[in-house]
Structure formats: structure tokens, C-alpha cells
Amino acid sequence: MLPFSTVFEALKWASSFLKEQSRDENVGEIYLMYLLEMNRAQLLANLRMELSESQVELFLKGIHEHVNGVPIQHLIGYEEFYGRRFLVNNDVLIPRPETEELVYQVLKKSSQHFSKQETLKTLDIGTGSGAIAITLKLERPNLEVEAVDISEKALRVAEKNARLLNANITFRKSDLLQTLISKGEKVDLIVSNPPYIPTTDLMTLSDIVRNHEPHTALFGGEDGYDLYRRLMDELPQVVKSRFMIGFEVGAGQGSTVAKLLQKTFPTSKTEIKNDINGKDRMVFCIQD
């Protein structure tokens, strides 16, 4: 016998079961909206709706998969970012709300630093799903956006997202800035959410993250700063005389990354920005 038959009962069962298993209780609502092809308002307006046997079975299967560690974004195939839907899978990092804040600050600060009429050559390093690059292009169409990643599989996901969202972006395979350096290319604006989790933190991560997201996109060496240190050697070779750099960092890493940038660009202005939770999650470097 099935444990429930209506939308209301399904949500109640999922919330209780997910809570018991120390998972996010909202996953039931997200997954049922996906299965029924409804938005939240529609779902809540149809709480008494009867579910078919196959819908109940699909819902049970998905919730159990999530409890066993599969991210809800992999079950439904996408994540919302800056009001848009981005395809995700095991080859890319699932976009986070903190990264939306990075994009917001980059848009705000770049419009203050450069004139809005300028066609800025913009680079997203380690693009993953393409969420940062695509959002910047769609929010500020006059940006000339390029995105690089070392992973060909990630680039395929990003290219598909760009096509689906109609964003005109150049994607290239590159180990950080090596491709640009070899071609002698220069850019105005650099954005990156590089891997910054210390490898020593591996076992403290949720099994959902640890087992289903690419480690190359998560870990930045023993102390988390390996990629930032490499970038300090490469950045001076690709920025124009006036530039802006915006990094996402792990909580508590802001001052170290700011010092690295200040040492690399002694005449620049560096700034640490806190996220909505008051954690230092963004570092900017601006050269006039």
C-alpha cells in the first residue's frame, strides 16, 4: 500500500522523512513541483489533488535517492541562478546563492569603475556550468564575455546552457589563464569562483557534495589557496592597465586573498565584501 495519495500528504510525508534523515525538508516541495510541472503557487493551490500511482512511486524513488546522497539538482537536472535555469550534472559545481552575490557585486562595481558604454573584455575563470559568464552577459549585453575551464565536460554543459539561454559567449579550454597568456590576450574584467576548499576539509563536507560534485571544482590544495597563488603569477600577464578582478572566496579567506592581490598589484585598491550572512565571501581588486 502506498503511504500517501494527495499532494498535501506527499509533502507532509516527505518533510517528515527528510527531517528524520537530516536532509533539507524543502526538497519534497522542489521535487514534486518538478514531477507535476507546477510552480510553487500552483502546487499550493492543488494540495487536495490526487496523485497517480506512478507519480507516487516516482516521488518516493526520488526522495529516497536524495536521502542516499544524490543532490536534488541532479534529480531534476537544473538549478536556479539569478532567476534563470541552469542545467547541472556531475561534471559541474551546482551554482550557489553566494555566487549570485558575487555576480551582483561585479555588475555594480564594474558600472561604477567603467563607463556603461564601454565594451569590456570580460573573463570567467573556471566557468563550470557557465552560470557566472552567462548571467553577466545577459544582465550586461555590452560585455564581451569569454569563459575558460580545464574540464571539457564542464565546457559542454556551459555551452549548452549558453545556447538554451541565448547568451553569446566564447568558451575555451584552458588551465587557468594559460591559453590567454600563450596568445598574448588582455582583458578588462576578470571574475572567478575558483576551487578554494582545503583538501583537509574533505570529510567535513556533506556526502551530497563530497560524492556528487567534481573535486577539481571544490578543492584548492591543502590550505585552499593553491589556485589563488597560481593566479597571482598569471593575472599580471592578462590584465589591461585599468582592470577589475572579482573573486569568490571561502569564509575566512578574504584577508589572505586580499593580501595576495595587494602584493601582486601594489597600486591597486582591494576590498573584501561580506555576503548576506556577514561572511567574507568576495574580494575585489581595482586598478584605475
Residue 208's pLDDT is 79
Q: Letter for the amino acid at 232?
A: M
Q: Is residue 141 part of a domain?
A: yes
Is the domain of 53 the same as that of 98?
A: no
Is the domain of 174 the same as that of 269?
A: yes
Determine contact, residues 242/186, Cβ cutoff 8 Å: no
Binding-site sequence positions: 126-130, 149, 193-196
Residue in the structure block whose three cell numbers are 569590456: 120
Could you tell me which of 285, 247, 249, 245 has the C-alpha nearest to residue 267? 285
Domain boundary among 53, 68, 83: 68
Question: DSSP per residue over 131-167, as a string?
Answer: HHHHHHHHHSTTSEEEEEES-HHHHHHHHHHHHHTT-
Q: Is residue 267 part of a domain?
A: yes
Determine contact, residues 193/248, Cβ cutoff 8 Å: yes
Residue 87's pLDDT is 97
Is the domain of 185 the same as that of 248?
A: yes
Is the domain of 64 the same as that of 105?
A: no
Taking residue 20's Cβ as centre, other Cβ atoms within 10 Å add up to: 9
Q: Is residue 227 part of a domain?
A: yes
**36 pLDDT higher than 90:** yes
Residue 30, judged by CB atoms within 10 A of its CB (0-12, 13-18, 19+), counts as buried
Spatial neighbors of 123 by CB under 8 A, at least 6 apart, are 145, 146, 147, 148, 180, 187, 189, 190, 191, 238
Is the domain of 210 the same as that of 106?
A: yes
Binding-site sequence positions for S-adenosyl-L-methionine: 126-130, 149, 193
Q: Is residue 83 part of a domain?
A: no
User: Mean of the per-residue pLDDT values for the chain?
Assistant: 94
Cα-based angle 134, 140, 143 (whole degrees, multiple of 5): 80
Distance CA 69, CA 72 (A): 9
CA atoms within 13 A on the CB side of 138: 19
Residue 198's pLDDT is 82
| Residues pairing with 272 in the sheet | 283
Is the domain of 22 the same as that of 164?
A: no
Taken in order 114, 164, 61, 68, is the CA torsion positive or negative?
A: negative
Q: Is residue 140 part of a domain?
A: yes
**218 pLDDT higher than 90:** no
Is the domain of 182 the same as that of 265?
A: yes
| Residues pairing with 283 in the sheet | 247, 272
Residue 118's pLDDT is 79
Q: Is residue 74 part of a domain?
A: no
pTM of the model: 0.92
Is the domain of 110 the same as that of 146?
A: yes
Pairing of strands 239-248, 280-287: antiparallel
Is the domain of 204 the same as that of 255?
A: yes
Binding-site sequence positions for substrate: 193-196
Is the domain of 178 the same as that of 210?
A: yes
| Residues pairing with 269 in the sheet | 286
pLDDT digits (tens, 9 = 90+) for 55-97: 999 999 999 999 999 999 999 999 999 999 999 999 999 999 9
Is the domain of 98 the same as that of 176?
A: yes
Distance CA 227, CA 237 (A): 16
- DSSP letter assigned to residue 197: B
Determine contact, residues 62/69, Cβ cutoff 8 Å: no
Domain boundary among 18, 53, 68: 68
Q: Is residue 254 part of a domain?
A: yes
Determine contact, residues 31/63, Cβ cutoff 8 Å: yes
Is the domain of 100 the same as that of 241?
A: yes
Determine contact, residues 197/223, Cβ cutoff 8 Å: no
Q: Is residue 2 part of a domain?
A: no
Residue in the structure block whose three cell numbers are 583538501: 199
What whole-number percentage of the chain has pLDDT above 90? Answer: 85
- In the chain, the number of structural domains is 2
- In this structure, what CATH number is given to the domain that contains residue 276? 3.40.50.150
Give the domain extent around 221.
91-287
